[in-house]
Amino acid sequence: MPESPEVETDRLHETIHEQAERHGGDLLRAIALTTALIAALAAMAALQAGTTANEALLLKAEATRLQAEASDQWAYYQAKGIKAAAQEASRSAWLAAGKTPPPAIEETIKRYAAEQEEIQKVAREKERERDERSAAADLLIHRHHGYARGVALFQVAIALGAVAALARNRPVWLASLALGLAGTVLAGAALLH
C-alpha cells in the first residue's frame, strides 16, 4: 500500500481555495468599487446640500434686511403724511377764519406729497427686492431637500454595500446599487431644478 494518496489533496485543496477566493474576490472588488463611487456621490451631494442651505439662509437674511428698510421707508412715508395733514389743518384753520392761508402752507403740502411719492417708490422697490430674494431662497431650500434626500439614500446604499461585502451577498449588493441609483436621480434632479 502506498504511503501517500495517488491524488494530491494538498494541491486540490489549494486550487479550490484559490477559485473560491477569486470568485469571492471579484464580488468584493465590485462591491468595494461601487460603494466607493456611491460614497463619492454622497460627498458631492452633501456638499451641494450644505451650499444651497447656506445660500438660502443668506438670501433670507437679505430679504429680512430689505423688509426692515422697506418698513423704515413706510414709517418715513407716514411721517410725511402726518406733517402734510398738520399743514392741511393749519390751512383749514386759516380758511375757517375767513382769511387766505400763507402761500408757504400750500407749498409745504405739495412738497410733502411729492416726497411721499418718492418714498413710496423706494419702499415698493425694497419690497420687490425682498420678494425676489425670498423666492430665490425658497427655490434653494427646495433644491436642498432634493440633495438631502439623495444623501440619505446614498448612506443607506453604502450601509447595504458593507453588509453585502461582509456577507458576500449579491442580492444585497444589487439593492445597494438600486438605492445608489435612486440617490443619484434625486441629487441629479435637485441639480437640474
Distance CA 45, CA 143 (A): 11
Question: What pLDDT is stored for residue 10 in this prediction?
Answer: 57
- Cell numbers at 96, concatenated: 375757517
Do the Cβ atoms of 172 and 149 come closer than 8 Å? no
CA 45 to chain CA centroid, nearest Å: 11
Question: What pLDDT is stored for residue 193 in this prediction?
Answer: 81
- Cell numbers at 43, concatenated: 460627498
Looking at the domain assignment, is residue 21 inside a domain?
no
Looking at the domain assignment, is residue 100 inside a domain?
yes
Helix (H, G, I), strand (E, B) or coil at 161: helix
| Domain around 166 | 32-192
Write out pLDDT tens, residues 181-190.
999 999 999 9
Question: What pLDDT is stored for residue 23 in this prediction?
Answer: 58
Give the max Cα distance, the chain.
148
Q: Provide mean pLDDT across the span 145-166.
A: 96
Question: What pLDDT is stored for residue 25 in this prediction?
Answer: 79
Question: What pLDDT is stored for residue 132 in this prediction?
Answer: 98
| pTM, to two decimals | 0.73
Distance CA 52, CA 45 (A): 10
Looking at the domain assignment, is residue 12 inside a domain?
no
Q: Work out the mean pLDDT of the chain and round it to a whole number.
A: 90
Write out pLDDT tens, residues 73-101.
999 999 999 999 999 999 999 999 999 99
Looking at the domain assignment, is residue 139 inside a domain?
yes
Looking at the domain assignment, is residue 158 inside a domain?
yes
**Predicted confidence band at 22 (pLDDT cuts at 50, 70, 90)?**
low
Looking at the domain assignment, is residue 53 inside a domain?
yes
Looking at the domain assignment, is residue 15 inside a domain?
no
Q: Which residue has the cell 410733502?
A: 112
**Predicted confidence band at 144 (pLDDT cuts at 50, 70, 90)?**
very high
User: In Å, how far are 47, 53, 142 from 25, measured between CA atoms?
Assistant: 33, 41, 42
Looking at the domain assignment, is residue 133 inside a domain?
yes
Question: What pLDDT is stored for residue 16 in this prediction?
Answer: 47
Do the Cβ atoms of 49 and 153 come closer than 8 Å? no
Distance CA 179, CA 173 (A): 10
Question: What pLDDT is stored for residue 162 in this prediction?
Answer: 94
- Cβ contacts of residue 102 below 8 Å, gap of 6+? 94
**Predicted confidence band at 26 (pLDDT cuts at 50, 70, 90)?**
confident
Count of structural domains within the chain: 1
Distance CA 160, CA 174 (A): 9
